Structure formats: structure tokens, C-alpha cells
Chain A
């Protein structure tokens, strides 16, 4: 994959190392990777030991401390892919394209985690691994949309054109997220109703504050993990870009 012929090859004078999200910045690495580790251990303790057992679902409910944060972050990532894609079409900045690509990849991983943790909970509670409920179905569709996005990314196309196609797909994928919510409201759903962000106020659906504390900590833990993984992914893409530029320059020099 070479980006040597894109619209804006960074001139040699641009110091790539100074851009904190792309390459370098040990502090960011240390804070995100270390922070994710510490917070994950804390979230495990809070989720498995500190939070009380739920009255009806028993121990099985504890998977929400993974399922819910992961779902929030996946949807955030996909929404951001849409924003970055729209900005890319407007500004034509290579960095925005790289951000969108990396967000989509990490988003697909998190979305896969939603789809894996959901059935583990559904089996004991609903008695089946999967139901064709609107919310489940549309999450699965979202997964398909962004897998399609990554497939366009893997196509052998001229880089500038590929970036534009991917941006269009990213925007359309993000547009289906609100439609997703519309259709959940229109057609009934088996999926549990929201308990944290409800119209009655933050956390009002949870009866014990310990539930909320555990959920908030695990959300922060997954958010920091997301930040760590995302930066590594962006860094990787940036190094590929640099390599392609160097190869291009070396080929020209001979």
C-alpha cells in the first residue's frame, strides 16, 4: 500500500515526529497504555467483586461492564469515522484520511466485541444466543458496513481515489446510526432499555450506586484503552506513509 502519489506528499521539511498523534510522544504512550492497564484491573475488581449481584439476572448481568462500554466506544468510533470522512472530503488532508481509516479498524474490533459479549449474556437470560431483534440486527449491519469499508480500503485502487471512496462509505455508515435508533423506536425491541442515559436523569435506571460506579470506571478504562490502541494504529499508518515516501524518494534518486 503506497501513498506516495497522494495529493499532499509531506515535504521533507515537515518534521513528522512533532505531531503528537502520529509518531513519538512517549508520554502519551505511557499514560494511555499504563492507564488502561491500571484502570482495567480496577474495573475488573469493581465489576466482579464490588458491585452487588443483580436481583433477577444473578451473576450473568456482570457482562454489562464490558458490553456497554464497548458498545458506547464502538458507536463513538463509527460516528467519528463519519466526521473525519466528511472533513477529509472538505479539507483533503491526508491525516484526516488516516484517522478515519484507523478509527474504522478499531471500531470494527470493538463492534466485534459487542457482538461476542451480547450472546454470552443472551444465552442464560433469553435462553438463546441470538434473537433477530432490531438493535442486535442493526449492530450486526453496522459491523457489515464497516467491514465493507475496510474491504474498499484493501482494494488495489489509486490512493487518492480510494480515500474518497472510503470517505463516502464512512459518511453513509454514520448516517445509518440515527436511522438505527429510529427503527428501534418504530419496531419493538427485546433488548433491555437504557438504564444510564434515560429521560429521568443520569443513572436513574440503576437501583444501587455501586452499579453506576463500576460502570463508569469500566467505561473510562475502555475509553483509555481505545485511545491507546487508536494511537498505535495511527502511528503504524503514519510509518507506512513515511516508508512509502522514502521508497519513492530512493527510487527517484537512482
Chain B
């Protein structure tokens, strides 16, 4: 029996798989928009990559040329550089939405609030991962570390830590962007909450760079952190993005 359109509406719109598909289509649309904007303006990724490189070089001056030989120091330098770059980048992508009231437009569009947030977050994650993919080989070269470890073995730790950083960071950036001192506000709110990620990432990275494999503790901790904060950010996103 063919169901009438009206009957379908009475039952509460499209069925579950269809709704889920629509949700991900919405997320995809937001991500696509951010990627296209970035591809045309090249505002965030290049700035972040150059900034990361600069921080890596600066630390080399700060600690003297021998600093990279100690693996824990090198991994600490790497993650500090990524953290700073991430704050710059995430501040920028949300500040863009603030300009010309783009956020207002996005909120008016018939999109689920959590889909909007997830889209922005995935966009941020893509930018962060691109920056990391570019800077990791350079880090390996500058600090004389075995390149196969830096590029391949490190990948799961980088991925997990970036997800943790990006989920909390995107949420807090969407809060900080509405305050007067937005550039200072984001690191102030974000750093204390992501320090566990930083610690786990630095420990894991040091393990990998010393040629001892992943160090299961760090990976497990990062997985727990990611799950907790990813779910929490998606749950509260609608309250942050409310007008």
C-alpha cells in the first residue's frame, strides 16, 4: 500500500535512516562550505602551518641547538606548537562566522544545531590535521628524528589528540568569539581543560620517538577523553549556538 505524503507527515516526517542521512548531509554541507572558503582564501591553514614551523624554530633557540636530542623535550615542543596553532586556527574560523553575521544566517537555516556544530568541528579538525601532516615531517627533519616514526607510527596519537583538542576547542571557541577579549579568552578557557590531552600526547609521542611503540596508557587515555568530550560537546552545542 502506498503511503500518502500527508500520512507520512502525520507520522512525524521521514523515517529514522532517512533522518540520519539528512543529518550527515547537513554536517557535510557545513564542512564543505568551510573547506571551500579555506581553499579560496587560504587564510587559516597556511598561517597555522607557518606559525607551527616558527614555534618549532623558536623553541630551538630558546633551549639551544641540542634540545631536540632529548626525545621528551622534542615531543613537548611539538605539542606546544600544535596547541598554539590550534588556538589561532579555531579562533579564526569562528571569528569568520561572526563577520557579516554569518552565524545568524547559519542559525536561521533549517539545520540541526548539533549538526551545525559538528560541521564546524570537523572543518576545524581537517585544518588541524592538514597542518599537522605538513609540519610533522619538517619537525622530524629539524629535530633529527627518524622520519618513519614521526610520519607513520605517530599517526594514531596525533589523530586522537587532535580530536580531543578540536572538539573542546571548537565548543569553547564558539563561546569565546562572543566575548570582548576573544583572542585571550579561548586559550584561557581551553588550556586548563585540554592539559590532560597534552600530557597524554606528549607521553605517547615520547614513547614512539624513543622507538618503544605506542605506550598503551596514553592511547587509552586519549580514547576515553575523546569519547567523553566529543559526546559532551555535541550534547551542549545547541545551548551555545542559541541566539
Q: State the A residues within 8 Å of B (CB).
A: 89, 137-138, 141-142, 144-145, 148, 151-152, 155-157, 161, 164-165, 167-169, 171-173, 175-176, 179-180, 182-183, 186-187
Contacts and interface: CB of A to CB of B under 8 A. Distances in A.
A239 B221 CA distance: 45
Interface residues of B, number: 28
A146 B240 CA distance: 18
Closest 7 CB pairs of A and B: A144-B192, A141-B192, A145-B192, A148-B189, A164-B239, A168-B236, A165-B175
Given A151-B188, A152-B175, A152-B179, A172 B221 contact: no
B168 interface: yes
A199 to B, nearest CB: 22
B142 interface: no
Contacts of B225: 179
Given A152-B179, A179-B196, A169 B221 contact: no
Contacts of B199: 183, 187
Nearest to B171: A168
Contacts of A169: 175, 189
Contacts of A176: 192-193, 196
B168 A172 contact: yes
Contacts of B239: 89, 164, 167-168
| Residue with the greatest number of chain B CB neighbours at <10 A, chosen from A89, A148, A161 | A148
Given A175-B229, A179-B228, A157 B178 contact: yes
B180 interface: yes
Interface of B: 168, 171, 175, 178-180, 185, 188-189, 191-193, 195-196, 199-200, 203, 217, 221, 224-225, 228-229, 232, 236, 239-240, 242
Contacts of A165: 175, 178, 240
A195 B229 CA distance: 32
A9 to B, nearest CB: 19
A138 B228 CA distance: 18
B166 to A, nearest CB: 15
Contacts of B240: 164-165, 168
A171 B221 contact: no
Max chain B C-beta neighbours (<10 A), residue from A156, A168, A176: A168
Of the candidates B171, B179, B193, the one having the most CB atoms from chain A within 10 angstroms of its own CB is B193
Nearest to A86: B236
Nearest to A156: B180
A168 B167 CA distance: 13
B63 to A, nearest CB: 18
A187 B195 CA distance: 14
A145 B193 contact: yes
7 contacts: A89-B239, A141-B192, A145-B193, A151-B188, A155-B179, A169-B175, A180-B196
Contact of A186 (B178, B221, B229): B221
A172 B231 CA distance: 11
A148 B217 CA distance: 29
A152 B189 CA distance: 9
A175 B232 contact: yes
B58 to A, nearest CB: 23
B57 to A, nearest CB: 26
Given A161-B178, A168-B175, A89 B236 contact: yes
B232 A183 contact: no
A155 B180 contact: yes
A152 B182 CA distance: 11
A145 B180 CA distance: 19
Contacts of B168: 172
Nearest to A178: B228
Nearest to B224: A182
A144 B185 CA distance: 12
